[in-house]
Amino acid sequence: MKQYFENPLAARYASEEMLENFSPNKKFATWRKLWIALAEAEKELGLPITEEQIDEMKAHVEDINFEDAERFEKITRHDVMAHIWAFGKHCPKAKPIIHLGATSAFVGDNTDIILMRDGLHIIKKKLVNVIDNLKQFALKYKDMPTLGFTHFQPAQLTTVGKRTCLWIQDLVMDLWDLEYTEQNLRLRGAKGTTGTQASFMKLFENDEEKVRMLDRLIAQKMGFDSTFPVTGQTYPRKQDSRVLRVLQSIAESAHKFACDIRLLASLKEIEEPFEETQIGSSAMAYKRNPMRCERMTALCRYVIVNGLNPYLTAANQWFERTLDDSANRRLVIPEMFLAADAILNIYMNVSKGLVVNPKVIEKHVMEELPFMATENILMEAVKRGGDRQELHEALRIYSLEAAAEVKEGKPNNLINKIAGDTRFKMTKEEIIKMMDPSIFIGRSPGQVLEFVHEIVDPILNKYKQYLGATADLKV
């Protein structure tokens, strides 16, 4: 039996919830809901449409006759007309008034906006749960010193919890962008073929107020506060790029987290969850690869790059419209949502089950801490009567010697070198006391508490009804 290409976003990665949101069932049921909203609004504004016709349409919203629609599309070469005919076959009484005064963009564009709105809602729920997972992790490890890295070279200490707050802060910025986008999302409404509403002016005998009210009524019935005040045949495609930019931004944040975890896994400091029966490599049985974070990175790259598409599409819309947007948008909008959904599924899973190896973290800290402690040692030695310039030069020489020895695989012997130099007037025990890692983490624990209290907790309280979600990965 032959098998044909199946989109991995559907087969392997995205959730059932997001797949349903962009399914043919929801798409075409939404078309029918829009036709009902149009008929209801036209009836309320005085057109001769009966309640019986509307009830008939409502009775067939979900039972979409796909086979009829497919057959009609082969005849018409027009997807909207095919579904009008298919709906009319189910609703013979309503058939004469389905799609009255509308153009194809009435169902196509408005549905795209509705699906993006609902998709953002799914994304928001998952985003909030990732933030909550990372918050718990940050609080648990707010005091644990760890090496900071700049240029992936050891730098001053931070804490595991403080570093986690950097990941959270990126996601908080994404959430703010998402909220703004949601609040400013507009429906296309009923604008006619080139946005002039000429067909509706004809239906309502040039009564502009009724035509304006028709637009408002449809928006309200579909759950929107407003429509675009002006459009061409389509709504401004800039709205697509604004929505998909949110997904692109989430991918940026997730990519940073995933790469950080992959680096930490290489250091054996922090690792993603690893199942008891999971195989890391088909050849190397000992391998414990960070495959979930690697998959996140791959999907993030896909979303970031694909996010260029809506900008080019919006830029290429000629006058009132051109159809070179259609095939592109059919691919880009659902796939970016499915990929972003998959990214957050993995992010939820990984952030819930991060594995910390404290002894490895401590070992790495103590290997580098002697170098970091030299400034404090210098200050204390000067207090005890030493010559600052002379001692600084001694520390420079000892540090270079110790670093060279470490690169040969030997232990860091810097403390012994300093303790053996009488000019420092300090015992080894005194120097070791000055090397408590907690001395070197600055305000890290306090910053974690402040950030969680001032920024994170208000967000989680606002969306507490979403908390507690988990993600079961297919692979």
The tokens describing 240, both together, are 């697509």
- Bigger pLDDT: 288 vs 54: 54
What stretch of H or E contains 355? strand 355-356
Measure the CA–CA gap between 293 and 328, rounded to whole angstroms.
29
* CB neighbourhood size of 420 (10 A): 11
pLDDT at 444 over 80: yes
pLDDT of the residue at 258: 98
Q: What is the pLDDT of residues 344-361, one digit of tens each?
A: 999 999 999 999 999 999
Contact 178, 242 (CB under 8 A): no
Measure the CA–CA gap between 188 and 108, rounded to whole angstroms.
10
pLDDT of the residue at 274: 73
Phi, psi of 443 (to 5 degrees): -95, 20
* CB neighbourhood size of 245 (10 A): 15
pLDDT of the residue at 2: 83
Q: What is the pLDDT of residues 283-302, one digit of tens each?
A: 444 447 899 999 999 999 99
User: From the candidates 15, 60, 266, 281, which is the catalytic residue?
Assistant: 281
Q: What is the pLDDT of residues 25-45, one digit of tens each?
A: 999 999 999 999 999 999 999
Look at phi and psi of residue 193 and say left if phi exceeds 0, alpha if psi is from -120 to 50, else beta: alpha
In the block, which residue shows the tokens 């040969």? 408
Measure the CA–CA gap between 109 and 320, rounded to whole angstroms.
14
pLDDT band at 276 (very low <50, low <70, confident <90, very high): low
The average pLDDT across 51-76 equals 96
Q: Sketch out the chain's domains with CATH numbers.
A: 17-97 (1.10.275.10), 374-434 (1.10.40.30)
Measure the CA–CA gap between 100 and 438, rounded to whole angstroms.
72
The average pLDDT across 382-388 equals 94
Contact 28, 83 (CB under 8 A): yes
The average pLDDT across 312-332 equals 95
151 given a catalytic annotation: yes
User: From the candidates 78, 83, 121, 151, which is the catalytic residue?
Assistant: 151
Measure the CA–CA gap between 194 and 156, rounded to whole angstroms.
61
99 given a catalytic annotation: no
The dihedral through the CA atoms of 199, 201, 205, 210 has a sign that is positive
Paired residues of 150 in beta bridges: 153
Q: What is the pLDDT of residues 389-433, one digit of tens each?
A: 999 999 999 999 999 998 898 988 999 999 999 999 999 999 888
Q: Alpha helices, DSSP H only, in 91-103? A: none
pLDDT of the residue at 291: 94
Of 11-25, 109-123, 422-436, the one with minimum mean pLDDT is 422-436
pLDDT of the residue at 278: 46
Q: Alpha helices, DSSP H only, in 95-237? A: 104-140, 160-183, 198-203, 208-221
State how beta strands 355-356 and 270-271 pair.
antiparallel
Q: Alpha helices, DSSP H only, in 45-99? A: 51-58, 66-76, 79-90
Contact 39, 203 (CB under 8 A): no
Q: What is the pLDDT of residues 236-258, one digit of tens each?
A: 999 999 999 999 999 999 999 99
Q: What is the pLDDT of residues 141-151, one digit of tens each?
A: 999 999 999 99
pLDDT band at 116 (very low <50, low <70, confident <90, very high): very high
pLDDT band at 229 (very low <50, low <70, confident <90, very high): very high
Q: Going by C-beta distance under 8 Å and a sequence separation of 6 or more, which residues neighbour residue 388?
A: 378, 382
The average pLDDT across 310-331 equals 95
Mean pLDDT of the chain: 94
The average pLDDT across 123-141 equals 98
Rg (CA), the chain: 31
pLDDT at 166 over 80: yes
pLDDT of the residue at 285: 42
